[in-house]
Structure 1
Amino acid sequence: MNVELKANKKEIQRLTRTFKVNQLKIKKNFFEKKNGVVSCKLNSKNVDFLISELYKKVNKKLNGITKNLIVCAVGGYGRKQLAPYSDIDLLFIHNDFDNNDKLEKSIQFILYPLWDLGFNVGHATRSIKQASEFSKKDHTVRTSMLDARLICGSKTHFKKVIKVFKKDVTKKSKSFFKEKILERERKLLDINFNFIRNEPDIKQSAGSIRDINLISWGLKIFCIVQNSEEEEFLTKNEKKKLTRSLNFFLTIRCFLHYLSNRSNDKLSFDYQKMIADRIQRKSLKGVNSNVEILMNKYFYHTRSTKSFTQIVIKIIYEYIANKAHKISNKININVNNYSFVEDFIENFHRGKISIFYQRILFEKINLIPQSFFVSKKFLRFFKKSLVSSNKKETLLLLNDLGIISKVIPDFSKIVSQTQFDRFHSLTVDQHTLRAINILKDIKLNPKKKGYALAGKIFKKKFDKKPLFYATLLHDIAKGRGGKHESLGSAISKKILKTLHEDEATIKKVSWLVENHFLLSEYAFKKDIQDYSVIKKITSKIKNIRELDSLYLLTVADISAVDQGIWNDWKAMLLEEIYQKCEEEILKPPEFETLNKKINKVKKSVFMTSKISNKKINDFSKITYPNFWLLQTPKTIAFQIEKFFQGIEKKKDFNFSIIKKEKIIELTIVTNDRPKLFLDIISIFVSEKVSVLEARIFTLDDNSVIDTFKISLDGSDYLEKKEIESKIDKLKIKLENFGNDKFLDINNDLLLQKNIHQKIEISLDNTTSSTYSILVVVTNNRPRLLYDISKILIKNELIISTAKISTNGDFIEDSFYLRNKFGFKLRDGEFSDNLIKEIKLSLTKVPENVF
């Protein structure tokens, strides 16, 4: 029997018009009140209205449908958390319809207007019996039933469905909730390496909406099992915290949907600014921008939610698993009696971390005065957790519970403190604790790949306590303006006095905090083959113990920034600068003339190769001193043997590519000419090659030896065959280059979006005794090195060395320069004009900056 269910077009139009008017009112109300919970409830209510009206019309046309068909909201819509462009999930449950065509037409009558309005509608149709059967087989279906809410139809039938569902949940409560917990853990692992935490997913990231959903599901399962109300489990304070966090997340989510006019859960940098400017008042002149204030709030709420979720789901699971009959939300603890905290500490050391005590501390921590946390007994526990304990989760839990901030009140200022760039994708406290755990990893695994030298140093017998303190406090002044290392050094002295540390420890820690950038600044941005650079850095390091501690702190600090920041190149540079500093500190060389230094290098070349003394001396006649002083003897020997026959080049154009792990060493020997360096860089741009270091050695016969350390963009994610293919393409380009086939650089730049524009240019005439060092810090983009080099060459400057350090959004290029007469650049009009010209070239694309 065919059923005709023709919709009255005018009636449907009237309904959808009313619906759209309501949508606009909800949107206006949201932008005025900025309340996500209210807005989502109103959106849910508006969809309820539309579906109910459509349902009434179906019932009118097919009398008695209410006895046979119920419509339920499930998912976020069922929870009344419907964001403006979220999917609408519906469950149609029928009571054995005698006419399938009638059932199908009835459902279509409800769905079509929703589709016409542009909604993505997920829907399922089941009989009462099927609803029960599907729920038993699939935990995803079972989850949707937890959130099921009747929109229209028979309440009796709905209650019948829910009764059967609850009976099934009671039987499988333990496995059901465990699967929900494992599902969440798998999701967090899945997204960990696929999103930037400073651009979080407001729905799925750790501590966000999905964790609150998990608590809600756990409580519903628990209440089904116990036949009780949710109100009996959570305290008023816990409910208040959760509600506040949920409202914050839903408010951000509604902003994302409205501002992008689509379903959008990624809080990317551009939307952060748009939302922050709407939520915050214009920030006063000070350190933090509106965006930083917004993101600090975001990380405060995610941290609080994540911590509470970890605690409460364990308690719920424990009660469900043990079939406990009663659970109380009363946390009756006398905050003037700290025995429970002492019990917690004792259990902590034994590896028995009571979840009950964790819940109490999470609830009551602010009521316990700081004096307790700096008592001798508690400080012994804290210091042991910091320095001696190998358990990585210890400090993380103490931070989540707010204990570290109680011991060190200044630490609370960096909790949830964002570092507003792609380089630091963790908050300051997360980064700090990760750095400490990396030290513990090195201690436990001294031969770990990439950390061999760090492991060797850590095995030395010296007091590690100052190192761990310095790691804990190295960023303590972040977000306060000025140089945080200098301010942090002063703050660390005050903190350590309250922790009853001796003056010797305080002095060591404050020195490490103040100098925690020292090794990385020189290793990544200065030419460490230049002896005057090593002399300068070692003038600040008194002994090997300071060097050892500073090296370990530097390694931990860089490794804790984010995935991929610590790499073979940085490990190699830091190891090299450590060895040079160690040699200088242990055995400072006596004053040597230039000729004596060069002769020592020549001797080393002779001893480590098959090159005769005559050939070395003959070759030296066409070289300048820096050829010998700024390279290792091994590199010099390779160049002479590979590219020269006597003092003559074997070829007019020759090159060598050597791959070492993820770093490629390229050496080019050819005749010098104007713009040679630029033409080589153009090949790198075309092949998406990143330059890490470049050196240019001009010889007296107009030959030039250019050496490059390069890496392939995205090499971490490439297969071995893909890497080999890219190297082969690079070789072909170089061979064509040798045949005078040059590349034109396309002026169209493919630019990434940057958080904010940064241009800092300085000229350093003090670090090196023979070169001026031009330092350019700016937003990273393709052909940046090419554009800056072009300006330098145009101004007749000789580039001896270029070092490139990439830090997320920003790149720092350091150029070792001399003028055409071989002298340093003088401060004055020429230098000022050079800096202005470079700045002008870097300000062409402000539209990519938020």
Structure 2
Amino acid sequence: MSTTRKRTTLAEVIGLRAHAGVRGSFLPGAGVGLRAEISRSTGGWLHDLWHEVEGPTHGVALACTGSLARQESGPLSDLDLIVLHDPGLEAAKVAQLAERLWYPIWDSGLALDHSVRSVKECRQVASHDLNVAGALLDLSPLAGDTDLVQRASRQLAEDWRANARKRLPEVLNHIAGRHERFGELAQMLEPDLKEAKGGLRDMSVLRAVTASWLADRPHGAVDEAYAFLLDVRDTLHLVTGRPRNILVKHDQAEVAVRLGFDDPDQLLSRIGTASRRVSSATDDTLRRAGQSQRMRLGRRRRRPELVPLHPGVYAHDGEVVLGRMRGGSPTDEVLLPFRAAAASATQDLPLSPVTARRLAALPGPPGPWPADARAEFVAFLGGPGLVRTWDTLDLAGVIDIWFPEWAAIRDRPQRNPLHRHTVDRHSLEAVREAAKLIDRVPRPDLLLVATLLHDLGKRPGGADHSAEGVRLIGPVAERMGWSPAEARTLEILVAEHLTLMALATGHDPTEPETARRLAGAVGQDPGTLRLLAALTEADARSAGPRTWTTVRASLMKDLVARTIGIMKPNAMA
């Protein structure tokens, strides 16, 4: 086959990639098949190119890593190629062969990352460079001596497994540093699809840990999430005509349309959910690898050590798990999810994914929550591990059982420069801030719950999220079993959660009328005002550094003091 014909074939491959630019080409399942087809076509072209340049069939081979090796080639994916050779071959001849390969690829316009190495050189580089070691785990043959590539692949995998004990801490440090540099994908208004926490790079970590045989990785939902992130990346490449990984605001509308979404916010919400699944799977797999390593280091097998935390809830090997519940009643089954959540958050121990799935399979409370369930839920909200535990329960479906209303704010972006988190994550971060203020208020339980639900009205299409929140909070309070008086306090806090800051910064706090307006907003109740002050501070602190300043704090404190001064004390004070 002539070079001209092969270039035409490559042009057809590029045309196949461009075909993905029509709306809906990356709807569920389509992107996976398209990437596999692109990879097969590209691999076939490279195989034929090898024979055109008269590459030998013994002692030297063309191999690939990266997206081509994984059958994940996108519209603008580059080629990661290696000319692999036996050490006995003449270096000059191998180099000449490689150049005859590289030039037609460069002429084709495809980006190329290339190298020429012996098996020994591959092993040496992998032993010193973690990124290279991970990439070489995908090593796959394209043409030439396929047995050589397969031997190299087996040797590299054996090296990786043999050094797993030493490399695992290196992997943990590397991924922690990357997450620190690039941030959390689910919380970004302009997400980095590759390097951020929960992005495409984390799936490479999952594959590498699995290859170490220290732990297997989850499948199913995380594979679907990863495929969706690849769909977004591929569509971004088509929209921009460049191999970009950061989905900037300017490109979001067109990417959303091509992927079948009505607006960019829907796209960002879906990206957030997908990235949280990848992130959760990564954390879980790394934790399992650590557990496996500790077991391997033990001199003998020991029986599992279960430390009781609550009836039916135990700590085991750094996780919260379920166990035998002696003499359990139907009430205990209802309380079990709340107890497990409280134990996980207060002990700052992750919930086992198996545990989370078991909890999601349990029926929710048949009516208003029992008082014990509310108490455990409040303890859950006040725990240092709240965000991680909530995320695990949310991905498993438990949060939807407790709060069906949560779905409307889940992973919902906030296009407000003052906010650094999605609506749901902001609410959780606000609860963490509120937990530091509970000694200032008469009802810490109402403070934490009101803070969790204060932005529940930030739903699609809503104009006044405070008013929408009030509409929602009544049924939620009834479901949770709060008394009418407690429900009324929650309604006031949700309705007025912006009022105190607006009066303190937008009006003269020394004017009597300002204090009277604030007093009226909280029903002339000092206790409710103290709750509102704590909620306002927690809300501002969690939004971002520009929303809580020394000046704002001073103005608000002065207004609260003046307002309490004109109120009559009561039992909530």
Same fold (TM over 0.5): yes
1:461 CA displacement? 5.8
Tell me, what secondary structure is at the counterpart of 1:201? Answer: coil
Q: 1:294 maps to which residue?
A: 267
Q: Find the structure with the greater CA-based Rg.
A: 1
1:362 CA displacement? 4.3
1:354 CA displacement? 6.5
Q: 2:571 maps to which residue?
A: none
Q: 1:498 maps to which residue?
A: 479
Q: 2:533 maps to which residue?
A: 551
Q: What letter matches 1:168 in structure 2?
A: D
1:254 CA displacement? 0.7
Tell me, what secondary structure is at the counterpart of 1:33? Answer: coil
8 Å CA contact retained: 1:71, 1:153: yes
1:79 CA displacement? 1.9
| Aligned counterpart in structure 1 of residue 292 of structure 2, from 319, 326, 342 | 319
Structure-2 separation of matches of 1:47 and 1:516: 57
Structure-2 separation of matches of 1:461 and 1:366: 33
* Aligned pairs (5 A) from 1:352-751: 353=349, 358-371=352-365, 374=369, 377-387=372-382, 389-393=383-387, 394-440=389-435, 442-443=436-437, 459-460=439-440, 462-480=442-460, 481-528=462-509, 532-541=513-522, 542-562=524-544, 564-568=545-549, 571-587=550-566
- Does the C-alpha gap of structure 1 residues 347 and 463 become closer, same or farther in structure 2, counting only changes over 3 Å? closer
8 Å CA contact retained: 2:400, 2:406: yes
- Does the C-alpha gap of structure 1 residues 312 and 45 become closer, same or farther in structure 2, counting only changes over 3 Å? same
1:204 lines up with 2:199 in the alignment: no
8 Å CA contact retained: 1:68, 1:94: yes
Which sits farther off after the overlay, 208-217 or 187-196?
A: 187-196
Q: What letter matches 2:456 in structure 1?
A: I
1:191 CA displacement? 1.4
1:261 lines up with 2:241 in the alignment: yes
8 Å CA contact retained: 1:303, 1:416: no
Q: 1:809 maps to which residue?
A: none
Q: 1:669 maps to which residue?
A: none
Q: 2:108 maps to which residue?
A: 117
1:49 lines up with 2:40 in the alignment: no
1:343 CA displacement? 8.2
Residues 472-506 of structure 1 deviation map (CA, whole Å, 9 limit, x = unaligned): 11011211523221221232222122222223322
Structure-2 separation of matches of 1:460 and 1:367: 38
1:107 lines up with 2:101 in the alignment: no
Structure-2 separation of matches of 1:529 and 1:316: 60
Tell me, what secondary structure is at the counterpart of 2:431? Answer: helix
Tell me, what secondary structure is at the counterpart of 1:478? Answer: coil
| Aligned counterpart in structure 2 of residue 220 of structure 1, from 211, 223, 244 | 211
Aligned pairs, how many?
Answer: 531
Tell me, what secondary structure is at the counterpart of 1:122? Answer: strand
8 Å CA contact retained: 2:337, 2:359: no
Residues 635-658 of structure 1 deviation map (CA, whole Å, 9 limit, x = unaligned): xxxxxxxxxxxxxxxxxxxxxxxx
1:112 CA displacement? 1.2
Q: What letter matches 1:156 in structure 2?
A: D
Q: What letter matches 2:248 in structure 1?
A: S
Q: 1:241 maps to which residue?
A: 221
8 Å CA contact retained: 1:467, 1:553: yes
- Does the C-alpha gap of structure 1 residues 169 and 390 become closer, same or farther in structure 2, counting only changes over 3 Å? closer
- Does the C-alpha gap of structure 1 residues 470 and 379 become closer, same or farther in structure 2, counting only changes over 3 Å? closer
Q: 1:33 maps to which residue?
A: 25
- Does the C-alpha gap of structure 1 residues 544 and 575 become closer, same or farther in structure 2, counting only changes over 3 Å? farther
8 Å CA contact retained: 2:348, 2:384: no
In structure 2, list runs of 5 or more residues that go unmatched.
302-320, 325-329, 568-573
In structure 1, list runs of 5 or more residues that go unmatched.
1-9, 227-232, 284-289, 444-457, 589-850
**Identity of counterpart residues, as a percentage?**
18
Q: What letter matches 1:79 in structure 2?
A: R
| Aligned counterpart in structure 2 of residue 22 of structure 1, from 2, 6, 13 | 13
1:305 lines up with 2:278 in the alignment: yes
| Aligned counterpart in structure 2 of residue 141 of structure 1, from 108, 118, 132 | 132
8 Å CA contact retained: 1:74, 1:148: yes
Which sits farther off after the overlay, 139-148 or 337-346?
A: 337-346
Structure-2 separation of matches of 1:253 and 1:576: 47
1:123 CA displacement? 1.8
Tell me, what secondary structure is at the counterpart of 1:560? Answer: helix
8 Å CA contact retained: 1:199, 1:269: yes
1:517 CA displacement? 0.8
8 Å CA contact retained: 1:22, 1:46: yes
1:470 CA displacement? 0.9
Q: What letter matches 1:309 in structure 2?
A: T
Structure-2 separation of matches of 1:435 and 1:342: 21
8 Å CA contact retained: 1:198, 1:421: no
1:270 lines up with 2:262 in the alignment: no
Tell me, what secondary structure is at the counterpart of 2:247? Answer: coil
Q: What letter matches 1:299 in structure 2?
A: G
Q: What letter matches 1:557 in structure 2?
A: D
Structure-2 separation of matches of 1:86 and 1:533: 61
8 Å CA contact retained: 1:523, 1:573: yes
8 Å CA contact retained: 2:202, 2:282: yes
- Does the C-alpha gap of structure 1 residues 185 and 152 become closer, same or farther in structure 2, counting only changes over 3 Å? same
Q: What letter matches 1:411 in structure 2?
A: W
Structure with greater strand percent: 1
- Does the C-alpha gap of structure 1 residues 340 and 514 become closer, same or farther in structure 2, counting only changes over 3 Å? closer
| Aligned counterpart in structure 1 of residue 344 of structure 2, from 341, 344, 348 | 348
The alignment's TM-score, normalised by the length of structure 2, stands at 0.83
Residues 355-392 of structure 1 deviation map (CA, whole Å, 9 limit, x = unaligned): 5xx221444554322227945554432222124x3555
1:319 CA displacement? 2.4
